[in-house]
Structure formats: structure tokens, C-alpha cells
Structure 1
Amino acid sequence: MNTYFVTGASGAVGSALVPLLYANPGTRVRLLLRARSEEHLKERMEELCRFWKLAPDAEPRTRLTPLRGDAAHPGFGLSAEEYAALSADTTHLVHCAASVRMNETLEDARHSALGSAQEILALARRLAAGGTLRKVEFVSTVGIAGKRPGVLPERWIDEPRAFHNTYEQSKAEAEVLVRAAIEEEHLPITVHRPSMVIGDSRDGRIIHFQIFYFICDFLSGRRTFGVLPDLGEVKLDIIPVDTVAGAIAHASLDTAARGRIFHLCSGPEHSIRLKTLRPIVRDAFKKHGIDVPAGMLLPRSVFTVLQRAATRLAPIDRRRALSTLPIYLDYLGDQQGFDNREYLAWLSARGAGLPHWKDYLPRVLERFLDEKYPRG
């Protein structure tokens, strides 16, 4: 029997991954969840089971074990007994936990990214010494490219570079630890670098609306009275959450994926231009019955000046949203690309491929609007 330990099971990627794991009757899954108490832990587990549509008497529940802790705490914040049990028979580690807030202090971002990476690697070493470890899936991000020019290759990045935010920097620093564990200790790790993760390609479902959805709200013009910056030919690389989860689940059983880096992304040729996404978003809002203001594009420098002035003058309840815009504009303003040829070749070898955004984006936007702005 395979026994998985998954961090970040309540996040976008983790919540899509766990059902793929428990679908195999020969698999047990231990989930690390933050909770204030044991009672809160049960409540959080029930929320996840509702998301997974698992009935109270469903058989997979007997193979799911929630553990109360924190991925960045020593020993994951588990009791000595729980950590010993975890170390005794776990065969697979999947590290999905991450704080994706872009405006954290560097100290807080490092505590989350580096602290959790250190704990996962410590457990991996212990399991390897005990002879039970088969595979580790480490979920990073294409954001480790930072402000590096050109297309990011599927390899370790040695070049010095600046970063758009503390999230990118801390994840890049965490990869340094993982690289050493692979090259010096030969731990069986695959590094997955997803791009911007959005809803399921089949029905648009996702457990949390994250950065992509903020960008869509922004592109609708509703938050800026229709005024938007002209970002030229900049593209956005998006990837459905089920595609990411499927890659991680498959890699966990593929010994040939050891030591490799996969960019779980659409790639430069199939990313969507922001100027293409903008009318699609606006049309989706209108179709849903939401008024959007007439659009006006301004040079980015002019928009930035207006944004700063609006932030100072805006009511308190809108000031916070406006104040975060520069973080996203800095990210969106770069023409980034992410090479995914290794990933595509790995998919092709098993007869799989990537969906195109034209086929799933309408469903993703419809789901978002239905849930965030339910019709009366």
C-alpha cells in the first residue's frame, strides 16, 4: 500500500490532487491541515470532504487521516507520537503548502517557503534512511524566474536576478535547498513549477479564487472605473488545476521523473495575451448581468500616477484593493515565458497532452462569476 503525506491539501493544487490519490483503493493519504483545535480540525476536514463530494459513509474516508499542524513548524507542529507514526511507513511526500500572498515581508515569506522545505526534506531523509521513501513531489513555481529576461528553461537557475515580490524570492531560495538534496543526497524528488493555476478545465471548480481571479476583476475595469494600463503584447500563462494535479499524481508513481524539473504551464506559444483576455472577461461579466464601465487604456506610467492618487483619495474599504495593484502591475508588466518542452515530452510519452485555454476558459470564468456574484 502507498501512504502519502500531503501538505497544502486545502489549497488549490492540494485539494485537486487528493481525490486523484484516494481514487486508488491501495492508497492512504495523510493531510496536514492548520487548525486551532481538534474540533476545528474535524470541521476543516468536513469542509474538504464536502468539496470532494465524499459522503459521510464513503469508503475513501477510511483512508484519509487529517493531522493538525503547520508545514513550516519544526516537525510540522505534530506531537512526537504523530511524527514517529508519519516517519514509520510513509512512502510518498507531496509538498503543496505555500503562502501565495505577494505582499508579505521577506522574513514571513521565507519562514513559510524555506521553513516548510526544510521540514519536508528532513522527513524525506528520515524516510530514506528507514527504507520506506519512494518519491517526493515538490511544488514550486515558475515565479522563481523573477525578472530574469527571456524564456525560463526547465533547469536550475544559477543566474542572479531581481524578483517581483517576496513570494518569488522565497520560493527560489527554497529550490536551492531542494537542489542540494537531489544532487548531493540523491533524494528521489521531482520539482514541479506551475504557472498561474486556475479552475478545473472540465467544470471550472477550484477551492479558492486566487491571483488569476483578482486579475480578471481588474481587467473588467470595475475596480478602476474602466481605466486600465496598456500592457501591449504581454501574455499570461495559465494552467487548469486538474492538469497540474494530474501531473503531480502521475509523477509520484514514475521513477523516471526523479531529479527532473517540469514546468506545468501552457508555454510561450499557447499563453493568452492580456489584450485578448480583457474583452473575454468583460463579455463574461456582461453575460452574467454585471455592468462594466466603458474601457479606456492609458500608458502604464500615466495609469500608475492615477492609481496612486486614487488610493489616497479612495474610501477606506476600497483603499486596500487599490494599494495592491502595483504588485500585480509589476508582475503583469513583464513579458515572461516559460519553456515546457520537458513537460510536454513527458506527457506525450504516455499519450497525454495539454488543453488549450480556448477550450476551458469560458467554463472557468462562468464558475467564478456564478460563485462570487450569484444571480438573484
Structure 2
Amino acid sequence: MTILLTGATGFLGMEFVARAVQADTADVVCVIRADDDAHAARRLHDTLTTLYGDDVPAAADDRLIAVAGNLEQPGLGLGPAAASLVADRVTRIVHGAASIRFDLPLDEARAVNVDGTAHVLGVARALHAAGRLRRYVHVSTAYVAGRHAGDVHESGSPVTGAPRNTYEQTKREAEVLVREAAAAGLPAVIARPSIVVGDSQTGWTPAFNVLYWPLRALSRGMLGATVPADPDGLVDVVPVDFVADAIAYLTVTDEPVSGTYHLTAGPAATQIGELMDMGCAAFGCDRPAVAPPIAAGDVDGSGHEAGVFIPYFDVLSHFDATRARALLEPAGITCPPLADYFDRIVGYAVAARWGKTGCTRAAAGVQPDAVSAI
């Protein structure tokens, strides 16, 4: 089995890579933005160092192939040798690369998230026409629902909530391309994670954004006496090990998977008020008052400097995950409630000084279960 992976140097991508190395049953062609294949190999090596330090398993050299590419170019900008490798060997694709910045101008976000998806789909269509492609997994986000209030189902129905930012808008536009390709016969599935945080067993993460910002601000008294949030708003949080396990399973399973799968907490999503209670208990501080959220554009320097995150403090979307649970739970892949591992992610964040220090994934003791195997 040979898998083409975009986004290998990102948080989710490196977790997928770690599972491939552990399982030692699939080769992974990692398309990495780089000047040439040697540069791509160096970037992959840096990723492996983040995972393993100086003790990189031998299987990484045997199973991982780094090639230079560019999502913004047709054919992913692959050189002749890499393009031939993909055409001859790849049977499955995981498209995980994206710009996750919330504040990019729309044209820049589209260049990566929409045009990039179109170019990956072009490679997928060529493999499918040659009779090789078994699965295309598109990593999206549950927040393509935008500001929709109420249930969001795992159906092909268009979502109508106004997007909060260019990230949500362009990820939604990319999904349209994937659904069109699936309707034309491409074996494609869409995975929609919600807010991804550290490993549920150790708290390990190399990325400290979204949920980590308000927690850090709370721990340092930076939020002030009043927090701009809806106390009934939902914070749908999932640990990275659950998401990576699920994406790996969607990639390799021989079950007839199709359509969209919500990799979310679903009915176990945490309310803002509950999150604040957990945070205050962890940091030994008083709970701030809650006031109606302010628009990101109204944020000043008074402690709410990460204005791009504030629109996520009043989410009223309920992400139904019935299809995903029916598929994943029999395989032993389940999403724990945030309360079960909250102290671990906070403990690691504090020990890592919210990203200023930290340790490798291996040193943190992360050990995927057998269900994670690719």
C-alpha cells in the first residue's frame, strides 16, 4: 500500500506519519513544499525530529518518501521522477495540507485551500482513471458550518451559516469540489474534525492555538474581569490521537466508506461555562464574568489581542457524529470527553510554557494503540 500525503509537516500530518512508521505496512509519499527533493527530505527530517528526537525508527527511512511539491501548481508541481512515482505506486491519498490562518485575505486562502484541493483532485482523478485509486480522504473542518445554530449533520446538504473568516469560507468551497468529484465516481470521503488539541493520554502537542490561547490568557489573568462569550456556546474539542486514528482508518479500511464523517465530540461537546469552570479549577483562579461576544474587528489591546479566536466563543452548532461513531467505534476508535483529559493537555501546555519549550512526542510517552496501525 502506498499513500500520498499532503500536510506531513503539520500537526495532524505528523501524527499520521507516526502511525505509518509504527505500523510499518505502508509506504507514504509526503508531498512537501520545498525547493527540491533534498529540501523536502530535510523538512521531513525536522518533522521526524519533533516526533522522535535523535532516535528516529529505521522504518521511517524505509517507508517515508519526501518529494518537493506545491499545492498551488497543477500536478502539485511534482518533478518528473516524483510524478512517475505517484502514477506507478500510489493507491490512496490523504489531503491534509491547508492554510489554517483565520486572517488571510480571501484570494490567498483560496490559492491554498481551494486551488490546492483542485490540484490534488487532479492527481486523484488521473490515478482513478488508471484504475489505481482506492480512496481519497479530504481533511476539512466541522466549522464549514459557519455561524449555523442548531444541528449540523454528516450529509451532503449545503451548510448555510455565514463563515466567520476566510479559513471557514475556503474550506467550505473546497468541500464543494470534493463532493462534485465524488458524484462523478471518485472514491472520496470528507473528514471534518472540530477543534483539535493535544494527545489525550499525555497532552503532547507542538501547536498551541485556538483553545490554548484563552486557556493561557485565563492562567495569566489576561482575560480581565469579563470574557466576551456565550455561556451556552459549545466548544467542540477532540484530541489529536482520536482524529489521527480516525483519518488513518478512513484511509485504509476496506469497508465501503463514503460521504462525510464528523470527527467531533458530538453530544459530549463542552459548554463555554463548563470550560471556564475546568480552567479556573486547573489554574486556581476566579471565574470571570461573561458578556456578549465582541466582533473580532472591535478587539483592542486590552487583553483580547487574539481577536481571530473570539468568534469561536459563541458557537451554537451541534455537530452530529452518528455516521462516524457507527463506523469507528466497532474498530475501537472513540472520542473521550474533554473532562477526561483536560488536566493532561493543560499540564503539558504549562510544562511546555505554552509552546516556548516542550519535548518530543516520543519523550512525552505517546504510544498509539494497535487500532491506529496503517
Query: Percent identity at matched positions?
Result: 28
- Residues 49 and 112 of structure 1, relative CA distance in 2, 3 Å threshold: same
1:33 equivalenced with 2:32 (yes/no): yes
Cα shift at 1:219? 4.0
Cα shift at 1:257? 4.3
Cα shift at 1:8? 0.6
1:345 equivalenced with 2:344 (yes/no): no
Partner of 2:49: 50
1:109 equivalenced with 2:130 (yes/no): no
Letter matched to residue 169 of structure 1 = Q
Letter matched to residue 217 of structure 1 = R
Partner of 1:300: 292
Partner of 1:80: 80
String of CA shifts for 1:190-222, please: whole Å, max 9, x gaps.
110001011011111123222121232244463
List runs of 5+ in structure 2 lacking aligned partners. Answer: 358-374
Partner of 2:350: 369
**Cα pair 2:191 2:262 within 8 Å, conserved:** yes
Partner of 2:365: none
Partner of 2:2: 3
- Residues 309 and 8 of structure 1, relative CA distance in 2, 3 Å threshold: closer
String of CA shifts for 1:30-86, please: whole Å, max 9, x gaps.
112223565543432222112332735623322111112222322222213322221
Distance in 2 between residues matched to 1:10 and 1:224, nearest whole Å: 32
Q: SS at 2:252's partner residue?
A: coil
Letter matched to residue 280 of structure 2 = R
**Cα pair 1:226 1:296 within 8 Å, conserved:** yes
- Residues 304 and 128 of structure 1, relative CA distance in 2, 3 Å threshold: closer
1:275 equivalenced with 2:256 (yes/no): no
Distance in 2 between residues matched to 1:276 and 1:57, nearest whole Å: 41
**Cα pair 1:221 1:227 within 8 Å, conserved:** no
String of CA shifts for 1:202-243, please: whole Å, max 9, x gaps.
111123222121232244463334432252211200001110
Letter matched to residue 338 of structure 1 = F
**Cα pair 2:27 2:63 within 8 Å, conserved:** yes
Q: SS at 1:93's partner residue?
A: strand
Partner of 1:68: 68
Letter matched to residue 351 of structure 2 = D
1:1-376 paired onto structure 2 within 5 Å: 2-36=1-35, 40-53=39-52, 55-56=55-56, 58-184=58-184, 186-220=185-219, 222-267=221-266, 269-286=267-284, 296-300=288-292, 308=298, 310-311=300-301, 322=305, 324-325=306-307, 327-372=308-353
**Cα pair 1:199 1:205 within 8 Å, conserved:** yes
Distance in 2 between residues matched to 1:58 and 1:101, nearest whole Å: 34
Distance in 2 between residues matched to 1:309 and 1:368, nearest whole Å: 25
Larger-Rg structure: 1
String of CA shifts for 1:94-116, please: whole Å, max 9, x gaps.
01111111111111111111112
- Residues 57 and 20 of structure 1, relative CA distance in 2, 3 Å threshold: closer
- Residues 304 and 148 of structure 1, relative CA distance in 2, 3 Å threshold: closer
Distance in 2 between residues matched to 1:29 and 1:334, nearest whole Å: 36
Distance in 2 between residues matched to 1:281 and 1:43, nearest whole Å: 39
Distance in 2 between residues matched to 1:353 and 1:119, nearest whole Å: 33
**Cα pair 2:37 2:67 within 8 Å, conserved:** no
Cα shift at 1:363? 0.7
RMSD: 2.5
Letter matched to residue 349 of structure 2 = F
- Residues 356 and 371 of structure 1, relative CA distance in 2, 3 Å threshold: same
**Cα pair 2:229 2:313 within 8 Å, conserved:** no
Cα shift at 1:351? 4.5
Scaled by the length of structure 1, what TM-score is found?
A: 0.86
Scaled by the length of structure 2, what TM-score is found?
A: 0.87
Q: SS at 1:263's partner residue?
A: strand
Q: SS at 1:203's partner residue?
A: coil
Distance in 1 between residues matched to 2:56 and 2:220, nearest whole Å: 43
**Cα pair 1:220 1:278 within 8 Å, conserved:** no
String of CA shifts for 1:99-138, please: whole Å, max 9, x gaps.
1111111111111111121111111111112222111111
Q: SS at 2:289's partner residue?
A: strand
- Residues 234 and 219 of structure 1, relative CA distance in 2, 3 Å threshold: farther
